[in-house]
C-alpha cells in the first residue's frame, strides 16, 4: 500500500511539474512579425543611425546588415519596463527633432558627413547632460539609442563573425595569442 501511494504521489508531482513547465514555455512563443512598440519607420531609422555609427567597410558588413533596428524592437518591447519604453519612444521623437533643428531635414536625407555631424553634436550633449530635476531620466536619450545599436551589432552574428575574430567556445585555453596591429578584436 505504501508503494502505490508513493507512485501516485510521484505521478502527481511529475504531472504538476510538466504543467508548470509548459506554462513557463508559453512565454517563449515568438510574437507575430511586426508586433512591438516600434513601427517600421522607427526600425528603419534605427538601422540608418546604426549604419552611420558602424558603417560597412570592405569585408565587414555594417549595422544595417546586422538588422540592429529589429534587435532594438525586441529589446524595447520585451525587456524594457513601461516607463523605459515611454522614455525610448520620446527619445526617438527627440532624435528626429534634433536632426530637423540642426539640419532642417530628415535623417535619411542627410549626407554621410551631415549624419556624422549630427551624431557628434549629440555625443557632445551626452557628455554634458545632467538631469535638471530628480524625476528626469538619468541618461540622455541618444546614449540609450547608441548603446542599443552598439550592443545589437556586436552581439549579432554579423558583428561577432565578421567584425570580430570569433573563437568558438568550448575551446582550449590559450593565454598568449599574438595580436598584430590591424587584427580584429576577439568576440
Band of residue 129 on the pLDDT scale cut at 50, 70, 90: confident
Band of residue 32 on the pLDDT scale cut at 50, 70, 90: very low
User: What are the sequence ranges of the domains in the chain?
Assistant: 33-163
Prior bond of 155 cis (ω within 30°): no
Confidence at residue 135, expressed as pLDDT on a 0 to 100 scale: 76
Confidence at residue 176, expressed as pLDDT on a 0 to 100 scale: 79
DSSP for 33-85 reads: TT-SSS-HHHHHHHHHHHHHHS--BTTB--TTTTTHHHHHHHHHHHHS-HHHH
Helix (H) or strand (E) holding 10: helix 2-25
Q: Where is mean pLDDT largest: 31-40, 94-103, 122-131? A: 94-103
Band of residue 7 on the pLDDT scale cut at 50, 70, 90: low
Band of residue 36 on the pLDDT scale cut at 50, 70, 90: confident
Confidence at residue 166, expressed as pLDDT on a 0 to 100 scale: 77
Q: List, for residues 63-118, the tens digit of each pLDDT value.
A: 999 999 999 999 999 999 999 999 999 999 999 999 999 999 999 999 999 999 99
Amino acid at each position: 500500500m505504501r508503494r502505490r501511494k508513493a507512485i501516485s504521489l510521484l505521478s502527481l508531482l511529475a504531472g504538476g511539474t510538466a504543467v508548470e513547465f509548459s506554462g513557463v514555455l508559453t512565454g517563449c512563443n515568438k510574437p507575430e512579425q511586426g508586433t512591438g512598440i516600434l513601427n517600421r519607420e522607427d526600425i528603419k531609422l534605427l538601422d540608418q543611425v546604426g549604419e552611420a555609427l558602424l558603417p560597412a567597410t570592405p569585408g565587414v558588413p555594417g549595422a544595417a546588415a546586422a538588422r540592429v533596428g529589429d534587435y532594438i524592437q525586441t529589446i524595447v518591447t520585451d525587456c524594457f519596463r513601461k516607463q523605459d519604453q515611454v522614455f525610448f519612444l520620446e527619445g526617438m521623437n527627440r532624435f528626429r527633432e534634433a536632426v530637423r533643428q540642426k539640419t532642417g531635414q530628415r535623417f535619411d536625407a542627410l549626407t554621410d558627413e551631415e549624419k556624422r555631424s549630427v551624431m557628434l553634436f549629440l555625443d557632445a550633449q551626452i557628455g554634458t547632460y545632467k538631469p535638471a530635476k530628480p524625476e528626469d531620466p538619468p541618461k540622455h536619450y541618444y546614449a540609450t539609442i547608441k548603446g542599443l545599436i552598439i550592443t545589437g551589432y556586436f552581439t549579432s552574428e554579423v558583428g561577432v563573425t565578421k567584425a570580430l575574430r570569433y573563437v568558438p567556445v568550448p575551446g582550449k585555453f590559450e593565454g598568449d595569442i599574438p595580436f598584430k596591429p590591424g587584427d580584429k578584436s576577439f568576440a
